[in-house]
Amino acid sequence: MNGYLALTYWDLAAASVFLILNAIFSIALNLGLARTLIVSALRMTVQLVLVGLILKAIFFAGSLWWTLLAAAVMAAFAAREIRARQKRRLDGFWGVGLGAGAMLLAGSLVTLYALAGLIRPEPVWQPQYALPLFGMILGNTMTGVSLGLDTLHTALAQGKREVEARLLLGGTRWEATRPALRQALRSGFTPIINAMAATGVVSLPGMMTGQILSGVDPREAVKYQLMIMFLLGGATGLGVLGATFASIWRLTDTRHRLRLDRLDKR
Amino acid sequence: MLTIEKLRTSLVGPVDLALAKGSFTAISGPSGAGKSLLLRAIADLDLSHGSLMLEGTEREKMPAPVWRRQVSFVPAESGWWAEDVRDHFTDAPDLESLLEAVGLKDALCWQVSRLSTGERQRLALIRALQLGPKVLLLDEPTSALDPPSVARVEILMKDFTASGCAILFVTHDPDQPDRLGARHLYMEKGRLSAFPSREHTQ
């Protein structure tokens, strides 16, 4: 590919100079950050090197099953992350299942739509396209869903009296939880809305930067980036909507009671 | 009017109770006896078992919101979901006169955050009344009120039962049941019984 300048491992070592300098400052000033800084930098290095090797192997194998397996592993990590990011979560299976289910449903739907309908690689599941796309969509949906659920559960737990006041006045469970739902939706949508607003003005998105650095015409890179942002916004929205509505359904019952006993006690 | 048979929750009951048209029923008892929980259970706000009938219709035969509009529970601490008082009320035709009856004629223009505890308590009662319930469940309806306001609220309660409705209320005021001509019950450890004679009360 023309205009693409490969990096050597020595370049990488040189790039880490400033990070190491930060660690030294931290030790000198006794900030206590050096350890976490170095550990997370090393952790990232190991993760990325491994991912590079694995992706290379999967691209080389060109097998549908390996691609699906990689997608499944990504989804499992994202599911765990959604669970960990909620201060109050649903009890039992629902604590993982509901958020992960919404994320996976929205993420898969949008990824398949983009692959089969827009990008159309041959074959459709070609890992060079499918995996990075699925990863980006999953990551954003994950953030949205975990923020949405965390806000919803906190709002319901802290606003029990307000919700029950509306129920007592003959409101349905959906009417009574409307303010909490709105708050949750807004917080779930915020990151993607902010990203759309700031994109290109404050920072160039990572994927577009990558394409430009590897020699792609900026106009083409912009087209790709726009498509990705539309997909991310769509998937995040679907995921957040699905997760919050499902969670309200779970935290209320058919007799229109608020069932905070179905939140994990912590 | 309201018949309750073998009402049980995990902490309350079994409770049998019948409220007649136009009647007052008072419940007293130590804190933690389950008085508020009983009212919550009747309003179907907590999971409960047993048979509840309003004018011959089973509770489970009607959607919970319909039940709660007819058997209206006003908790001791009311919830307010909007900033302005007005947003918590519908445009009921008798709203103005109800507010005037408890001395809060201009309250609709106020902000919830500036209400006193006593004002909240009276507004919460009006908020429930304007839906035209048949049975009122009141948890300490006058606990935060000064004597003149207590008198106003009690007059309002009497008007309500005089129009053929029933009121079940929890109170710690030893004279209130007699003032309202209420049948007085005693609750301890989740069970209801007739109120013991005056000498044995706390």
Q: How much is the pLDDT for B198?
A: 58
As a dihedral over the C-alpha atoms of residue B30, residue B32, residue B36, residue B41, rounded to 10 degrees, the angle is -130
Per-residue pLDDT tens digits of chain A, which is 266 residues long = 455 778 888 888 899 899 889 888 888 888 888 888 888 889 999 999 999 999 999 999 888 999 999 999 999 999 998 988 888 999 888 988 999 999 999 999 999 999 999 989 888 899 999 999 999 999 999 999 999 999 999 999 999 999 999 999 999 999 999 999 999 999 999 999 988 888 777 767 888 888 888 888 989 989 988 999 999 999 999 999 999 999 999 999 999 999 999 998 66
Per-residue pLDDT tens digits of chain B, which is 202 residues long = 888 889 898 888 798 899 988 899 999 988 888 899 999 999 999 999 999 999 989 999 999 999 999 999 999 999 999 999 888 988 778 888 888 888 888 888 899 999 999 999 999 999 998 888 999 999 999 998 889 999 999 999 998 999 989 999 999 988 898 888 888 889 888 888 887 765 554 4
Rounded distance between C-alpha atoms, residue A231 and residue A238, angstroms? 11
Q: Chain B within 8 Å of A97 (Cβ-Cβ)?
A: no
Nearest CA in chain B to A260: B46
* CB contact (8 A) between residue A170 and residue B43: no
Distance of CA B85 to the CA centre of its chain: 20
Question: Tokens standing for A96?
Answer: 């993982």
Q: Chain B within 8 Å of A265 (Cβ-Cβ)?
A: no
A34-61 helix and A127-158 helix, angle to the nearest 10 degrees: 140
Strand ordering across the sheet containing B191-194: B71-74, B135-139, B166-170, B24-28, B183-188, B191-194
* CB contact (8 A) between residue A168 and residue B68: yes
* CB contact (8 A) between residue A169 and residue B127: yes
Question: By C-alpha distance, which of B4, B22, B25 is closest to B13?
Answer: B4
Q: How much is the pLDDT for A139?
A: 92
CA–CA min distance B66, chain A (Å): 6
Looking up tokens 């290379």 gives A56
CB-defined contacts A:B, below 8 A: 62
CA–CA min distance B19, chain A (Å): 20
Rounded distance between C-alpha atoms, residue B120 and residue B113, angstroms? 10
Rounded distance between C-alpha atoms, residue B65 and residue B51, angstroms? 18
Q: How much is the pLDDT for A1?
A: 44
Q: Chain A within 8 Å of B148 (Cβ-Cβ)?
A: no
Q: Chain A within 8 Å of B80 (Cβ-Cβ)?
A: yes
User: Residue B91: which H helix or E strand, with range?
Assistant: none
pLDDT digits (tens, 9 = 90+) for A160-187: 999 999 999 999 999 999 999 999 999 9
Q: Chain B within 8 Å of A169 (Cβ-Cβ)?
A: yes
* CB contact (8 A) between residue A168 and residue B80: no
User: Residue B29: which H helix or E strand, with range?
Assistant: none
Least CB-CB distance to B77: which of A161, A169, A172? A161
Residue B70's φ and ψ, nearest 5 degrees, are -95, -35
Q: Which residues are CB-neighbours of B201 under 8 A, at least 6 positions away?
A: B28, B174, B195
* CB contact (8 A) between residue A166 and residue B81: yes
Q: What is the pTM of this model?
A: 0.86
Specify whether the CB–CB gap between B134 and B166 falls below 8 A: yes
Least CB-CB distance to B72: which of A162, A168, A255? A168
Q: Chain A within 8 Å of B8 (Cβ-Cβ)?
A: no
* CB contact (8 A) between residue A166 and residue B44: no
